[in-house]
Amino acid sequence: MDARPASSWYAHGMAKYNRQAHAVYYTRYHIIWIPRFRRKILIAGVASYLEIKLQEITKHYPDVYFLEMNAQTDHIHILLSIPPKYSISHMVNIMKSNTSNALKQKFSFLKNVYYDDGPIWATGYFVSTVGVSEQTVQNYIRYQTREETGQAQLEL
């Protein structure tokens, strides 16, 4: 599901680092959120449409990448890469508000499930960073000087 243009990232080992004008980054977030009242509304058609609407967000935020998505009937998992210029709370708010409105417009049965005209998503979300291991970062910092001077190659 990695549809990024080749010019916006480069590979180093197994990781793909993204570039912007003044930053190189590797940010991956595992995000989970649920429908309000934990209703089981994300049935096949709704879940498919939800994924389409989430992908459409990249039209307005082309430097945001959805790496994986999986909707269960009562929650959704997303693996997302966002640049450091956006906060995770901002992007979750964008995703939840845009998809809530779109799903309510497309699927009329949701008006019966959520009769108060409120959002379909519960307040809050789970987020965890996913990335290189702590040991990898420690080694990188510890041996950075030797790598820059070429000493790391000589010792191998």
Per-residue pLDDT band at 15 (split at 50, 70, 90): low
Read off the tokens for 120. 């379909």
Residue 104 vs residue 144, higher pLDDT = 104
Among 115, 100, 130, residue whose Cα is nearest residue 15: 130
For helices 44-60 and 88-106, give the axis angle rounded to 10 degrees: 130
Residue-level pLDDT at 96: 98
Percent of the chain clearing pLDDT 90 (strictly above): 62
What average pLDDT does this structure show over 44-49? 96
pTM, 2 dp: 0.79
What average pLDDT does this structure show over 128-155? 72
Could you give the CA distance from residue 105 to residue 125 in angstroms, rounded to a whole number? 23
Look at 18-22, 71-75, 84-88 and tell me which has the smallest mean pLDDT. 18-22
Name beta bridge partners: 78. Answer: 31, 69
CB of 30 closer than 8 Å to CB of 78 = yes
Residue-level pLDDT at 122: 97
CB of 33 closer than 8 Å to CB of 90 = no
Could you give the CA distance from residue 51 to residue 68 in angstroms, rounded to a whole number? 10
Could you give the CA distance from residue 23 to residue 16 in angstroms, rounded to a whole number? 14
What average pLDDT does this structure show over 129-147? 78
Could you give the CA distance from residue 51 to residue 94 in angstroms, rounded to a whole number? 14
What average pLDDT does this structure show over 140-148? 71
Could you give the CA distance from residue 127 to residue 79 in angstroms, rounded to a whole number? 10
Could you give the CA distance from residue 136 to residue 140 in angstroms, rounded to a whole number? 6
Could you give the CA distance from residue 17 to residue 32 in angstroms, rounded to a whole number? 24
Residue-level pLDDT at 135: 84
